[in-house]
Copies of this chain bind each other. A is one copy, B any other.
Amino acid sequence: MPSSQRRDPHRLLPVDPSTRAIAADLYARVAAAPIISPHGHVPPSLLLDDQPFANPADLFITNDHYVTRLLHAAGVDLAELGADADPREAWRLLARHWHLFAGTASGYWIDEALGTVLGIDPPLTMHTYDEIASRLTEPGFRPRALFDRFGIEFLATTDDPLDDLAVHAQLQSAGLRVAPTFRPDRYVDPDNAGFADAVARLGQMTFAGYLAALEARREHFIRHGAVSADHGVVEPYTVDLDPADAERLFQLVLVGGGTVEERRTFRGHMLLQLARMSVDDGLVMTIHAGVLRNHSTPTFDRFGPDTGHDLPVPTSFVHGLRPLLERFGLERDLHIVLFTVDETAYSREIAPMASFYPSLYIGAPWWFLDAPDAMARVRSAVTETAGFYRSSGFIDDTRAFLSIPARHDTARRADAGYLARLVREGRVDLSAAERIIDDLVGDIPRAVFKL
């Protein structure tokens, strides 16, 4: 990796020299620590097939809605960036608009992947395309080789509840700790277009049977190494219903009926039921709340979901999670990790809740907040209330495989910088800071995700 040395070794660390020195020491402790990635979207077949990446556009553009969205905002048609586009032309569009990415998280990740993973110097041009393409032909740049080089100790994927998980079984046989994650959104949200079909595939037509079918699938996931179940919701809203009401609502929404409020109630009850299942089977529950999916209908109609127009909305947890927490909040073996893209919730709600309820953990800065300044804001927002040990450890949540080390590295640098400031301000002893940064990349995610 000749070029990785050329990147500033102190990048992202605080600018004050004495603080930077402490931060550099703290960072050095964990720079090469194994990567624990308990939530993300890497396709497991990528690792099983272990084929060379198709081309630089496929690697850095086509599948990365962080990148395509900003090009789209600049006037590029998404069709010019998709799987059917000419990859060189797609890259040309990226290169032409590369200055738009200055200061962004995705620009930084690409710089890191080029410099640190692929050993390619800036600037990003058409020449870069050829350099990457050349690298991709080398055995050392296949997915499995990179998996090893990245030092990934544990990688969770995100999967449909009816997935047979055969790919995971094969990966585990091959010695890779790649675990599935149970993601039942489309099976539990009546407003999801595929809801009725999904439930039908579960093959149960009573509410009790439906719950049992979900439980059985969770068992299947657990047998294949799953440690968590993931839930994407627009609002973190829960409702406790008695079985008869739940049955009635289930039958109603199953045939596309129910008012907006009734469908909301059903969804809210299912989030509570899924917590109950986690109490029973031990799967960690991650809740990603507050994103309105597919805001632009014309874009959705042309290009489908995950094309850059999922948008955050104001999010509050205290009222909506109360029914769930009244039932299960004091369960010590229940782990719920709360993620938000409305960062106001961190100091106002998430830190106060997670510093009382043993079941609640503060999720790492997610999505638009997965960036150095935002990380600093979030640590500042939660630590004075909840300390470091109620947070989840870093979670990359990515489908961009090459960005995984850059994302974890960014979090390590951000935490080193935050801790170094506390040391310099006399708020944390250096020895305590050393333990904390070690734990943040190791024991904390292992404990939160029961690894």
Question: A residues within 8 Å of B by Cβ?
Answer: 7-8, 10-19, 69-70, 72-75, 99-105, 107-108, 122, 292, 295-299, 308-309, 311-314, 316, 318-319, 322, 325-326, 329-330, 332, 341-344, 347-349, 351-358, 360, 368-369, 371-374, 377, 380-381, 383-390, 421-422, 424-429, 432-433, 435-436
Contacts and interface: CB of A to CB of B under 8 A. Distances in A.
A368 B424 CA distance: 23
Contact of A102 (B122, B308, B329, B432): B432
Contacts of A357: 73, 296, 309
Nearest to A436: B102
B104 A311 contact: no
Contacts of A319: 292, 313
A352 B15 contact: no
A318 B341 CA distance: 13
Nearest to A417: B425
B308 A312 contact: no
Given A73-B358, A426-B7, A99 B318 contact: no
A386 B374 CA distance: 13
A120 to B, nearest CB: 16
Nearest to A292: B318
Given A107-B387, A122-B429, A296-B356, 9 more contacts: A11-B425, A15-B18, A73-B355, A73-B356, A103-B387, A312-B349, A312-B352, A314-B344, A372-B425
Contact of A435 (B99, B390, B427): B99
Nearest to A308: B356
30 contacts: A8-B426, A13-B425, A15-B424, A16-B16, A69-B355, A99-B435, A101-B387, A102-B432, A102-B436, A103-B436, A105-B385, A108-B427, A292-B318, A292-B319, A295-B353, A296-B325, A296-B329, A298-B330, A311-B353, A311-B356, A313-B316, A313-B348, A313-B349, A314-B344, A314-B348, A341-B352, A347-B368, A368-B385, A371-B384, A373-B383
- Copies per complex? 3
Nearest to A420: B15
A144 B125 CA distance: 48
Contacts of A308: 355-356
Nearest to A7: B426
Contacts of A369: 347
Contact of A387 (B13, B102, B325, B429): B102
A108 B426 CA distance: 10
B427 A326 contact: no
Contacts of A330: 296, 298-299
B358 A75 contact: yes
A112 B383 CA distance: 18
A196 to B, nearest CB: 25
A428 B447 CA distance: 36
B322 A70 contact: no
Contacts of A314: 314, 316, 344, 348
A431 to B, nearest CB: 10
Contacts of A422: 103
A72 B360 CA distance: 12
Contacts of A386: 70, 73, 104
Given A325-B296, A426-B7, A387 B356 contact: no
Given A15-B18, A428-B103, A348 B358 contact: no
A385 to B, nearest CB: 5
A72 B296 contact: no
B102 A428 contact: yes
Contact of A348 (B299, B316, B342): B342
A380 B373 contact: yes
A75 B357 CA distance: 9
A356 B100 contact: no
Contacts of A292: 318-319
B385 A72 contact: no
